[in-house]
Chains A and B, each alone.
Chain A
């Protein structure tokens, strides 16, 4: 549909111009492709929307034919709209590969529950690529529900950030390739709070009773609270070490402080003022600000959690070549910079900063996107828990957040 001018479009037009001129030059597209790319701008309704949830009616699982199918988190890629050609469309134009992209992830546990009955029985699920969070990747590897990635067909994989090579969750590095990494901290709506927030403890201010949210992602919610209590989450070994955060959260819930636990679905509540503040993800705030500029992200002084979501191929995924082509495309710093400029997370791809600088120099100086030493020093990633301890954490957490 034709939308009239809105702040978002105005805001975009500058960036979009820079992006498009940069992309077309750098990717060396031929004239017909260029025309196609420009033509796509005008009918933005017929262009594949990045948000089509899986609609396959065929009971037969397994990715359809030769369409590459990627299930990812919401607001996690630059979309095709308002005259901007998103990465998915640029990929299709550049390679001729048909691709379906959906935002099916809301929460790792929930997504796992969807695929478990299928993969657990040895059947294949529809998507060729999914992007669970690192700890879930570890679980899927240990359950034997993943295929190795065709890394040898991904020359750009050499651009992987050094600190992400052979990570703890995938020691051989053959099952996963990170999509984005980032931080969890406090997201808040200045109109509702009436003041800038300064610490995690602001979440427990009685003034915000019933207007506080928290992520259903245990490692981020418990992690941020534990860090505010001075506990190092990267060295956790037993449940007892984390128990105070669970008690704090349980108490806040009992007091009616917590309005809702949420997955990636908190944009609406935060932007329209139902949430004063919530534990949220750094890049999301950039998206919410498009709707409501009063939304802010606080990187707590006590520390933020850092995480990574990684692309993996579920067992039996058929479109391996197309998946390799996609990963190669996404690991081209020029393309990765487009994604970064939009999602504003920390890219796992080396050389993105230089490319982002060409698009928007301000972004290149944002420590949430290109973290400096001080920022990195204040972030911790959650320890890899042993099977039994993890079960204990999960049970305690799901008892609090679970219905």
Chain B
């Protein structure tokens, strides 16, 4: 940094830093509540008033059977939809980033559209489609819905990641006699894999947490968010907090892991 900083300037600088710190604290207020109340021993059906500290909820994270079933259902949905969406979304991303072709503008637009449509429109329109087809809404329709918004998300995320990719490497490999298929698996794929994995993780999280689109297309199926919404009328067991905190911990662990691998790579290269 250059230039003399006046007293006023440094006060302003610190004021800004403190403001940012407060903003960061604000982000964590409900998180503190969620994690804190996972250690609460509630008196009634609602885990919303602090009573006393207990580890019992963490000892029995799956102590609430219906909640656990819903959670498992959510994991199944997220696993299937993420697998499908990652494959077809990544293919789209490669096509968009790798080639220059007629119609790419329109296709770009088509991919962006679902992300700029409010979730309630996506959810209700899909529900009208299934109504129109006379299809009973349930597990399959939810998976279909999730794949729909994940495809766009994966395509855009992976495209952003592979944009800087040096495609002449492919050319070089082929000039050296590698077949296009071999080139893809040996050269291209390893290089774009981190981008694909990151997109897959994020879209897994999106699926796990989706409420609005799922609500319209679930029928009698219960996912983790749907169960929380439905049961909140009668009960809010501490296991909700435990599972939410656990998801948080796992995500943070994955993120830190990713960061460490990333920084090691940077150093080695």
Q: Chain A interface (Cβ within 8 Å of chain B)? A: 1-4, 6-8, 45, 48-49, 51-59, 61, 74-75, 103, 106, 114, 117-118, 121, 123, 125-126, 263-265, 267-268, 271-272, 290-291
Q: Is the CB of B227 within 8 A of A53?
A: yes
Complex interface: chain A residues within 8 A of B64 (CB): 49
Q: Is the CB of B48 within 8 A of A54?
A: no
From B66, B73, B219, B233, contact of A263 by CB (8 A): B233
Q: Is the CB of B65 within 8 A of A57?
A: no
Complex interface: chain B residues within 8 A of A75 (CB): 234
Q: Is the CB of A55 within 8 A of B222?
A: yes
Closest 4 CB pairs of A and B: A265-B233, A52-B66, A291-B44, A59-B138
Q: Is the CB of A53 within 8 A of B41?
A: no
From A7, A126, A267, A272, contact of B220 by CB (8 A): A126
Q: Is the CB of B234 within 8 A of A265?
A: yes
From A52, A114, A123, contact of B65 by CB (8 A): A52
Q: Chain B interface (Cβ within 8 Å of chain A)? A: 41, 43-46, 48-49, 52, 56-57, 59-60, 63-66, 69-70, 73, 131, 134, 136, 138-140, 219-222, 227, 230-236
Query: Residue on B with the closest CB to A56?
Result: B220
Q: Is the CB of B44 within 8 A of A53?
A: no
Known contacts A45-B63, A117-B131: A54-B234 contact under CB 8 Å: no
Known contacts A264-B233, A291-B43: A272-B48 contact under CB 8 Å: yes
Q: Is the CB of B134 within 8 A of A55?
A: no
Kindly state the separation between the CA atoms of A94 and B50 in the bound complex, as whole angstroms. 39
Complex interface: chain B residues within 8 A of A263 (CB): 233
Known contacts A53-B222, A271-B44, A272-B48: A59-B233 contact under CB 8 Å: no
Q: Is the CB of A1 within 8 A of B56?
A: yes
Min Cβ gap B180→A in Å is 42
From A114, A121, A264, contact of B134 by CB (8 A): A121
From A4, A52, A58, A290, contact of B44 by CB (8 A): A290
Known contacts A3-B41, A53-B230, A57-B73: A114-B66 contact under CB 8 Å: no
Q: Is the CB of A268 within 8 A of B46?
A: yes
Known contacts A49-B64, A272-B48: A59-B231 contact under CB 8 Å: no
Known contacts A54-B222, A59-B219, A114-B220: A2-B56 contact under CB 8 Å: yes
Complex interface: chain B residues within 8 A of A4 (CB): 41, 52
Kindly state the separation between the CA atoms of A46 and B48 in the bound complex, as whole angstroms. 24
Kindly state the separation between the CA atoms of A106 and B60 in the bound complex, as whole angstroms. 28
Q: A49-B65, A57-B139 are in contact. List 4 more A-B contacts (CB 8 A).
A: A3-B41, A52-B65, A117-B131, A268-B48
Min Cβ gap B73→A in Å is 6
Complex interface: chain A residues within 8 A of B46 (CB): 267-268, 271, 291
Q: Is the CB of B235 within 8 A of A45?
A: no
Q: Is the CB of B221 within 8 A of A57?
A: yes
Query: Residue on B with the closest CB to A118?
Result: B136
Min Cβ gap A259→B in Å is 16
Kindly state the separation between the CA atoms of A271 and B44 in the bound complex, as whole angstroms. 10
Most chain B CB inside 10 Å of its own CB: which residue of A2, A56, A106, A271: A56
Query: Residue on A with the closest CB to B227?
Result: A53
Kindly state the separation between the CA atoms of A61 and B66 in the bound complex, as whole angstroms. 19
Q: What are some 25 contacts across the A-B interface (CB < 8 A)?
A: A1-B56, A1-B57, A2-B56, A7-B43, A45-B63, A49-B64, A51-B66, A52-B65, A54-B222, A55-B70, A55-B222, A55-B227, A56-B221, A57-B73, A59-B139, A61-B136, A61-B220, A74-B234, A114-B220, A121-B134, A265-B234, A267-B46, A267-B234, A268-B236, A271-B46
Secondary structure of the B contact surface, majority rule? loop
Min Cβ gap A223→B in Å is 22
Complex interface: chain B residues within 8 A of A290 (CB): 44
Q: Is the CB of B139 within 8 A of A267?
A: no
Min Cβ gap A160→B in Å is 28
Most chain B CB inside 10 Å of its own CB: which residue of A4, A55, A103: A55
Kindly state the separation between the CA atoms of A122 and B73 in the bound complex, as whole angstroms. 27
Complex interface: chain B residues within 8 A of A7 (CB): 43
Min Cβ gap B128→A in Å is 12
From B52, B57, B131, B138, contact of A57 by CB (8 A): B138
Query: Residue on A with the closest CB to B220?
Result: A54
Complex interface: chain B residues within 8 A of A58 (CB): 138
Q: Is the CB of A51 within 8 A of B60?
A: no
Min Cβ gap A278→B in Å is 14
Query: Residue on A with the closest CB to B64?
Result: A49
Complex interface: chain A residues within 8 A of B227 (CB): 53, 55
Kindly state the separation between the CA atoms of A315 and B60 in the bound complex, as whole angstroms. 39
From B60, B73, B134, B233, contact of A74 by CB (8 A): B233
Q: Is the CB of A59 within 8 A of B140?
A: yes
Q: Is the CB of A45 within 8 A of B139?
A: no
Complex interface: chain A residues within 8 A of B59 (CB): 1
Min Cβ gap B147→A in Å is 17
Q: Is the CB of A59 within 8 A of B136?
A: yes
Kindly state the separation between the CA atoms of A74 and B63 in the bound complex, as whole angstroms. 20
Min Cβ gap B121→A in Å is 16
Kindly state the separation between the CA atoms of A267 and B45 in the bound complex, as whole angstroms. 9
Complex interface: chain B residues within 8 A of A264 (CB): 233-234
Kindly state the separation between the CA atoms of A114 and B137 in the bound complex, as whole angstroms. 11
Min Cβ gap B67→A in Å is 9
Q: Is the CB of A123 within 8 A of B222?
A: no
Known contacts A61-B136, A118-B136: A55-B69 contact under CB 8 Å: yes
Kindly state the separation between the CA atoms of A8 and B219 in the bound complex, as whole angstroms. 36
Kindly state the separation between the CA atoms of A123 and B137 in the bound complex, as whole angstroms. 13
Complex interface: chain A residues within 8 A of B69 (CB): 52, 55
Known contacts A4-B52, A59-B139, A272-B49: A51-B220 contact under CB 8 Å: no
Min Cβ gap A121→B in Å is 7
